[in-house]
Amino acid sequence: MKRNSHIRLPFQMERASGGTALLERSQSWAVIAITMVSAVLVWGNPAQAADSIWRGSALSPLPNASSDIDLRKVQLGEEMFHDARLSADDTISCATCHDLNNGGVDGRQKAVGIGGAEGTINTPTVFNSAYNFKQFWDGRAESLEEQAAGPVHNPSEMGSNWPDVVAKLKKDERIVRMFSDIYTDGVTGNNIVDAIATFERTLVTIDAPFDRYLQGDKTAISVEAAKGYELFSTYGCISCHQGVNVGGNMYQTMGIMGDYFKDRGDVKDQDLGRYKITGRESDRHVFKVPSLRVVAHTAPYFHDGSAETLEDAVRNMAKYQLGRNMPEADINAIVAFLNSLAGDYKRFDPR
C-alpha cells in the first residue's frame, strides 16, 4: 500500500459509486488519501478485477492459491497438521479426521476423538475451507486460525491445550528450529494455528471439470452432469450453494419447507445450529451452507451424517429445503453434476 502513497492518479474511484460524497474534504492529505484509495482499489488487487467477469453468475471457478503464501509456513503447517502431539495422548492429529487422501474427512457419521471418544457432529472437509465465510457447521469461527484451535481443546476431539502442546513440541529440536526460522517468538499456540491455517489455505481443489466447463470447455463434464447443473439451478439448490465454493458463504435453516428434525427425531444440542451461538429463535437449526466442491468424496452427509449417499442427501435437501419431491432421474443428474465439482489437490508450490 505504501508504495502508492505518493502516486496521484487523475481519475476518481471506479467502484465507489457511493463514495463520491467523500470528496468534499478539502484537506490536501485527505485528497492524497482518497487518491490512494482509488489506486489501491484499482491496482492493489488484480485478482478481484479479474474476478469481475463472473459477477452475476451464481457459480465461478476456484482460483489458484495465492503465490504470496510463505512456503516455510506451509511446510510447517503441513507438519503440524499431521502432528499427533497436538492431542492429549498423541494419538490424534488434524489429519486423523481430515484425511487429505479421503476428501479431507474421516468418512464417519460423527468424528472420533482421543480414547475413542464419539464426537457430536459430522466432520466437514478441510479442502477449500479457506473459501468458507465462517468455519464449523454453526459458523462460530471467523477464521481458519480460530477454527484450528477448536479441536485441540475439544475434549471429545484432541482434548489438549496450548501449554501442553507447546511443551511437547519444544522437546523436538527440529520443530523448534522450524518455528524459530519463521517466528521470532518460536513455538506458541498462535504460531501453530498460523502455520496450520496457512497450510490449509493451500488445500484447494482447482481445475475441477465443472470449472473447466464454466470456462468454456463444454466437453469437460458429461451431458448428464450438464443436465444436473441446469436442474441444480432450476430447483433452486443454487440459491444457497452458490459462489466459488458452491456453498460456504451463507447460513440457512435446516428444514425450511419441512420439519427435518421432527421427521428424523432425537433432536440434540448439536442440532440447534447457530441458535447455540446467538440464542436467537430465528437462528434455531440454522447452519452454514456447506461447500459442495468435494462433496463427491465426503459421505456421509449433513451435520448429523445422516445421509449416507449423495443421492440421499440430494433427496432430503429437495424435500426439506426446497419443498419438492425430486424424481430419481433428476437426483442422478444432480449427483453427476456434483461429482464434476471436485478438482485436484496439488501440494503447494509457489513456482
Partner 1 sequence: MTKASRPLPFILLAATALLVVVFYFQTRHMDLDRQNSTAHDILSLKQLDTQLSEETLKAASLQISNYDTIVRTISEIQVISERLHNPDTGLYGLIGPEIDKRLNTLQSLMLTKFELVESIKSRMAIVRNTVNYLPLEVTRITQHRTDFGSMVLQRLITALLVNNLTPTPTNKDALERIFEIVQAIPFTEDNQGKVDMVLVHVRANLSSREATMADMAKFTDQNTIQILDEIMDMHIEYSLNRIKLANQFRILLLVLSLALFAGLAFALFQLRKAHDQARMTSRQFRDAVESINEGFAFFDANGRLSFWNQKFGQLHQGLGNTLNKGMTYESFFNACTDNNIYQEFMNANGSKQDQIEHGLGRPYIVKSADGTWIMSSDSRMADGGTACVRVDMTDAKRTEEKLRNLSRAVEQSPASVMITNTKGIITYVNPKFEEATGYSYDEAVGQGANLVNSGEKSAKEYSSLWETLSQGKEWHGEFHNKRKDGTLFWEYASISPVKNDLGETTHYLAVKEDITDRKQALADLILAKEQAEMASHAKTQFLANMSHELRTPLNAIIGFSEIIKEQMFGSIDNDNYVEYSINIHASGQHLLEVINDILDVSRIESGTMTIREDVVDIAHLCDETIEMIQPQAHMAKLKLVREIDENLPLIRGDMLRIKQIIINLLTNAIKFTPQDGKVTLVGTKKPDGSIMLAVRDTGYGIPKDKQDKILEPFEQVSDIYSRNHEGSGLGLFLVSSFVALHQAELIIDSDIDQGTTVTVNFPASRLVVDAQGHI
C-beta of 92 vs 197, nearer to partner 1: 197
If one asks whether residue 256 binds partner 1 (CB under 8 A), the answer comes out as yes
If one asks whether residue 163 binds partner 1 (CB under 8 A), the answer comes out as no
- Nearest-approach distance from CB 313 to partner 1, in angstroms: 18
Applying CB under 8 A, among 154, 253, 306, 332 the residue interacting with partner 1 is: 253
Applying CB under 8 A, among 153, 251, 270, 311 the residue interacting with partner 1 is: 251
Sole window of 47-55, 70-78, 80-88, 295-303 interacting with partner 1 (rule: CB under 8 A): 47-55
Per-residue x/- track, 6-45, partner 1 (CB under 8 A): -------x-xxxxx--x--x-x-xx-xxx-xx--x-----
If one asks whether residue 323 binds partner 1 (CB under 8 A), the answer comes out as yes
Query: Which of 157, 200, 281, 311 is the catalytic position?
Result: 157
Instruction: List the interface residues with partner 1, window 174-233 (CB under 8 A).
Output: none
Sole window of 79-87, 202-210, 241-249, 304-312 interacting with partner 1 (rule: CB under 8 A): 241-249
Count of residues that bind partner 1 according to CB under 8 A: 52
- Is position 173 annotated as part of the catalytic site? no
Applying CB under 8 A, among 107, 186, 189, 236 the residue interacting with partner 1 is: 236
C-beta of 57 vs 219, nearer to partner 1: 57
Q: Which three cell numbers stand for residue 201?
A: 489455505
Binding stretches for partner 1 (CB under 8 A): 1-2, 5, 13, 15-19, 22, 25, 27, 29-30, 32-34, 36-37, 40, 48, 54-60, 133, 142, 234, 236, 238-240, 242-244, 249-253, 256-258, 278, 282, 286, 322-324
The catalytic site residues sit at: 157
